[in-house]
A and B are shown apart, each in its own frame.
Chain A
Amino acid sequence: MENLQIEAKKSSPEIDFNAQTNILLIKGESYPENTVLFYEPVFQWLETYIESLEDEKVVFNIELIYFNSSSSKVLMDLFDTLEEACEDGKSIIVNWIYDEENEASQEYGEEFAEDMDALSFNLVEK
């Protein structure tokens, strides 16, 4: 399977999904002009990727300095997708990486973590 790489822009994050190492990364800021349009290829790739998974251990690193409310909705959809995959027996862990000075990011991470059950959701201070 091909990797997915999208360069970071001012209002959209870097996407680096590697199907060989099984390390996935979303990093930067997220307030794109059209949130749904920006994340469409991300979800499409993930769907195929998750289907192809057998017993690989997947590490999903998320390091967002800022995201707007429509990105927050997208992140929730993303974690729901990963949660479902884990319920299905896939092995995925999320590392929510935040800067110690960024209280908001920490709080949002904690709130996402509260809603996850099958998915391991770690809060990682940089």
Chain B
Amino acid sequence: MIDLYDYKKGLQEDGIIFSFSGPMSHEIIEGIGSAIRVKIGEGEDGDRKAALKVFAIFVEQVENVINYSVEKDSEDSQLSFGIVVIGKKDGSFFISGGNKIYTQKVPTLRTNLEKLTHMNKDELKVYYKEKRKAAKEGDSKGAGIGFIEMARKSTKPIEYSFEDIDKDYSFFTIKISI
């Protein structure tokens, strides 16, 4: 018998409201997304604006895992593994997502993200519109503007990290605060 109480207490201490680690699918976005909107947006101290923002970031992060995680059961599997965590600390919400990527993708991703951290809101808006107009990027399964979208909604610069797993793989984490 595994006792999850300590695990739950640990999450609570870190202010984590929601945590999911495992295979991601579109149904996760729809199902858990709705629960998040109700949890944050409704009730006595409900904040509908925050709920919609947190949900928007959650959608982009789960879609990133689905589209870009290289951790799959098989090559053509629809299920991509990753982790998404939503919490609240010192009055602000944070949404963190992580997944395994190819180490060779790290430099490009780092450059792209670093660029976003140095842009102010107006620059992000211009860059967002420019990228949205442009044609789809090489291996981009979404519109390729998810990170800019997240950076625009974030109240502070996006935080990210890359952890080496082995010579071929790295673990990518991104954190957005609202």
Contact = CB atoms under 8 A, between A and B. Distances in A.
Contact of B56 (A101, A104, A111): A104
Interface in B83-115: none
A101 B48 contact: yes
A69 B30 contact: no
Contacts of A66: 52, 55-56
Nearest to B30: A10
Given A66-B56, A73-B145, A111-B125, A101 B49 contact: yes
Contact of A72 (B29, B48, B49, B145): B145
B87 to A, nearest CB: 21
Contacts of B10: none
A52 interface: no
A81 to B, nearest CB: 14
Contact of A68 (B52, B59, B125, B129): B59
B159 interface: no
A73 B129 contact: no
Interface residues of B, number: 23
A11 B48 CA distance: 18
Q: What DSSP secondary structure best describes chain A's contact surface?
A: helix
A11 B62 CA distance: 14
A87 to B, nearest CB: 17
Contacts of A73: 132, 143, 145
B26 interface: yes
A68 B60 contact: yes
B167 interface: no
Given A73-B132, A111-B129, A104 B53 contact: yes
A31 B27 CA distance: 11
Contacts of A68: 56, 59-60, 63, 142
B52 A11 contact: no
A62 to B, nearest CB: 16
Contacts of A65: 52
A76 interface: yes
A101 B51 CA distance: 12
A103 interface: yes
A115 B126 CA distance: 11
A102 interface: yes
Interface in A58-110: 65-66, 68-70, 72-74, 76, 101-104
Interface of B: 26, 29-30, 34, 48-49, 52-53, 55-56, 59-60, 63, 125, 129, 132-133, 142-143, 145-146, 148-149
